[in-house]
A and B are shown apart, each in its own frame.
Chain A
Amino acid sequence: MDPFFIFITVVKIITITFLVVLPMVAYAVYAERRFSAILQDRVGPNRTMIPLKIFGAKKDLNLPLGGLTQPIADGIKFLLKEDFTPNHVRKPFYWLAPALTMVPSLVTVAVVPFGSDLRLGDRIIPLSVADINIGPLFVFAVSSLAVYGITLAGWASNSKYSFFGGVRACAQMISYEIALGLSIIPILLIMGELNLNEIVKYQAANGWLIFPFWGEGLSLKGFLLLIPCLISFIIFTVSIFAETNRMPFDLPECETELVGGYHTEYSSMKFALFFLGEYAAMIVGSALIVTLFLGGWSLPFGWSESEFMSSGSIPAALIHVGCFLTKVIAFILFFIWVRWSVPRVRYDQLMKLGWVVFFEAALVNVFLTAFILYYVR
């Protein structure tokens, strides 16, 4: 294999995981706490400081950061807490479960295109770790594995609360995964493409799927296709909420009924892995929604088609990365906003929503799209 290819892939993995996703996870927690506070007329964590005193300095360094150092404090706390393993757990699975929830989220990041292709000399470097032609399929295959982590945690913990959490996670997973998969078929019909990078390029030229106001999107067909796209978008977004176990569907942990749900018996860094895995899943979910429906890294109104933006130069690529991250962050804030506005649905309501409403809607939607594509020129 080309050594340059290996080198650039390693660089991409390290940059995207350690410089983009993990800091984003840490700060998503902070954003969640601050934003929820603002929504509820509170302040949130705003006064963490740098404790120079414990290193022997005279005074603590109290910079007016508005609590931006909070994630560091949280991280240190998680690392320093006692990692307690109850006696009644099944150890191998108990240890495996936290990793199994965190890893799939990080692996799915591999196919997400973070920016437009970069041109270095005569080489073209796509800004995603793996530029593969089965993008969405890969995502579904890997991200559904996360539920094993939760189920194993619930089972291995050997406690009733955790067990119920695990069972719920399973039942929840099978009720929305089908709708999730079916909801993106219209996109594949429209694009004829399974490569996420190509999907984004198509949207850059012809209008984002749910905002098609330039290029080919400005036609009767474009506007008609908006209907199935919006339906897909709603089903996909709601399913992603369920997939990430976020608020209206956070039945596996459901503090009011199940103490801590599947992670009742976990402490310290193992709990942190569950906790951060949820946020990583949220970030990947937002990135996916943005990539599939909101034009990924592309600028609106076909600006990404201009000579400068499509030249592949470093500033152009950086602008695109910035654009992508802005959209993702906006979507994360939307996730948080929903969490603090919508009450948790009941267990049977979620199953009903998945099986009776979304499954059918997604199915009808597939035919609707095919119909429009076939008859409207």
Chain B
Amino acid sequence: MAEIKVIKRPQLSLGDKLYLPAIAKGLFLTFTHAISSLRGTTRGAKKMRSSGLGVTMQYPEEKWDDSLPEYYRGVPALVTNEEDREKCVSCQLCEFICPPKAIKITPGEIPSDDPWAKVEKRPQAFDIDMTRCIYCGMCEEVCPEEAIFLRKDYVVTGSDRSEMVHDKDRLYEIGGKRVGLVNKWNDLK
């Protein structure tokens, strides 16, 4: 036969049954929060760089930018290498992997008189729709050329949808030059 286990209910004291002491305790607790909130001594206020009331930071005036971690995933952007070559070879792997289909690439050929003709391809147009992007970082992960990176910028604003699409120029502007990466297309190749 199954063993029946009887769990003892907690015995409520008279004070518990009356509710009132518990309510007074709760009121006192919130009141201590109010006091420390007004005095700017809320726990964690300093760490959160609060504006004086509670722990809230006043956002546009105060920002976390300098304490963003290395692995922060902000807007995706394209980068150039030391020699100002566009690293992207428009292989379209990122376009393929992007979960919300935010990336649209029109591949283009590099003309044969270009010093980088051996790379063969570069994007003619490269649009990332920031209203779709979910900052997952898949594009960065998949790129065989280390050409696309998630930067630390996170303020993307626009007054209509077309302004929220980052075109190639904008992507290179955000990405800038990235040095110290594997240089796949060096002179020996």
Residue numbers of A with Cβ under 8 A of B are 35, 37-44, 46, 337-338, 340-342
Instruction: Output the nearest chain A residue to B20 by Cβ-Cβ distance.
Output: A234
How long is the Cα–Cα vector from A42 to B34 in the complex, in angstroms? 10
Stretch in B51-59, B135-143, B157-165 touching the partner:
B51-59
- Whether B156 sits at the interface, judged by CB under 8 Å, is no
List 10 other contacts, CB 8 Å, given A38-B38, A39-B31. Answer: A38-B53, A40-B33, A41-B37, A42-B55, A43-B51, A43-B53, A43-B56, A338-B27, A341-B23, A342-B23
How long is the Cα–Cα vector from A39 to B56 in the complex, in angstroms? 13
The reply to whether A340 and B30 form a contact with Cβ atoms under 8 Å apart is yes
The reply to whether B53 and A341 form a contact with Cβ atoms under 8 Å apart is no
The reply to whether A341 and B56 form a contact with Cβ atoms under 8 Å apart is no
Within 8 Å CB of B42, what residues of A?
41
The reply to whether A43 and B27 form a contact with Cβ atoms under 8 Å apart is no
The reply to whether A41 and B23 form a contact with Cβ atoms under 8 Å apart is no
Within 8 Å CB of A340, what residues of B?
30
Within 8 Å CB of B58, what residues of A?
43
A347 CB, nearest partner CB in chain B, Å: 16
Instruction: Output the nearest chain A residue to B28 by Cβ-Cβ distance.
Output: A341
Within 8 Å CB of B55, what residues of A?
41-42
15 residue pairs A–B, Cβ–Cβ below 8 Å? A35-B34, A39-B30, A41-B37, A41-B45, A42-B37, A42-B53, A42-B54, A43-B54, A43-B58, A337-B27, A337-B30, A338-B27, A340-B30, A341-B27, A342-B27
The 4 closest A-B pairs by CB, nearest first: A41-B54, A341-B30, A43-B56, A341-B26
Instruction: Output the nearest chain A residue to B55 by Cβ-Cβ distance.
Output: A41
B77 CB, nearest partner CB in chain A, Å: 32
Instruction: Tell me how many residues of B have a C-beta within 8 Å of chain A.
Output: 19
Chain B: interface secondary structure? helix
Number of A-B contacts (CB under 8 A): 50
How long is the Cα–Cα vector from A295 to B92 in the complex, in angstroms? 79
Within 8 Å CB of B181, what residues of A?
none
How long is the Cα–Cα vector from A35 to B37 in the complex, in angstroms? 11
- Whether B29 sits at the interface, judged by CB under 8 Å, is yes
Instruction: Output the nearest chain B residue to A345 by Cβ-Cβ distance.
Output: B19
Instruction: Out of B27, B31, B51, B54, name the residue touching A40 (CB < 8 Å).
Output: B54
Residue numbers of B with Cβ under 8 A of A are 23, 26-27, 29-31, 33-34, 36-38, 42, 45, 51, 53-56, 58
Within 8 Å CB of B45, what residues of A?
41
The reply to whether A39 and B51 form a contact with Cβ atoms under 8 Å apart is no
Instruction: Output the nearest chain B residue to A47 by Cβ-Cβ distance.
Output: B58
Within 8 Å CB of A341, what residues of B?
23, 26-27, 29-30
Within 8 Å CB of B27, what residues of A?
337-338, 341-342
The reply to whether B53 and A39 form a contact with Cβ atoms under 8 Å apart is no
Within 8 Å CB of B56, what residues of A?
41-43
B142 CB, nearest partner CB in chain A, Å: 41
Within 8 Å CB of A35, what residues of B?
34
Within 8 Å CB of B36, what residues of A?
41
B3 CB, nearest partner CB in chain A, Å: 33
How long is the Cα–Cα vector from A42 to B51 in the complex, in angstroms? 10
Instruction: Output the nearest chain A residue to B36 by Cβ-Cβ distance.
Output: A41
How long is the Cα–Cα vector from A41 to B31 in the complex, in angstroms? 11
A332 CB, nearest partner CB in chain B, Å: 15
How long is the Cα–Cα vector from A112 to B55 in the complex, in angstroms? 41
Instruction: Out of A37, A337, A338, A342, name the residue touching B53 (CB < 8 Å).
Output: A37
How long is the Cα–Cα vector from A329 to B30 in the complex, in angstroms? 19
Within 8 Å CB of A342, what residues of B?
23, 26-27
Within 8 Å CB of A39, what residues of B?
30-31, 33-34, 37
How long is the Cα–Cα vector from A337 to B35 in the complex, in angstroms? 13
How long is the Cα–Cα vector from A40 to B29 in the complex, in angstroms? 10
How long is the Cα–Cα vector from A341 to B29 in the complex, in angstroms? 8
How long is the Cα–Cα vector from A340 to B31 in the complex, in angstroms? 10
The reply to whether B33 and A41 form a contact with Cβ atoms under 8 Å apart is yes
How long is the Cα–Cα vector from A37 to B31 in the complex, in angstroms? 12
How long is the Cα–Cα vector from A38 to B36 in the complex, in angstroms? 9
The reply to whether A337 and B31 form a contact with Cβ atoms under 8 Å apart is yes
The reply to whether B54 and A37 form a contact with Cβ atoms under 8 Å apart is yes
How long is the Cα–Cα vector from A338 to B37 in the complex, in angstroms? 17
A33 CB, nearest partner CB in chain B, Å: 13
How long is the Cα–Cα vector from A338 to B30 in the complex, in angstroms? 9
How long is the Cα–Cα vector from A71 to B54 in the complex, in angstroms? 22
A370 CB, nearest partner CB in chain B, Å: 26
Within 8 Å CB of B37, what residues of A?
38-39, 41-42
How long is the Cα–Cα vector from A338 to B20 in the complex, in angstroms? 12
The reply to whether A38 and B54 form a contact with Cβ atoms under 8 Å apart is yes
B42 CB, nearest partner CB in chain A, Å: 5
Within 8 Å CB of B29, what residues of A?
341
How long is the Cα–Cα vector from A37 to B56 in the complex, in angstroms? 10
Within 8 Å CB of B26, what residues of A?
341-342
How long is the Cα–Cα vector from A172 to B23 in the complex, in angstroms? 21
> Of A43, A44, A338, which is in contact with the most chain B CB atoms at under 10 Å from its CB?
A43
How long is the Cα–Cα vector from A37 to B30 in the complex, in angstroms? 11
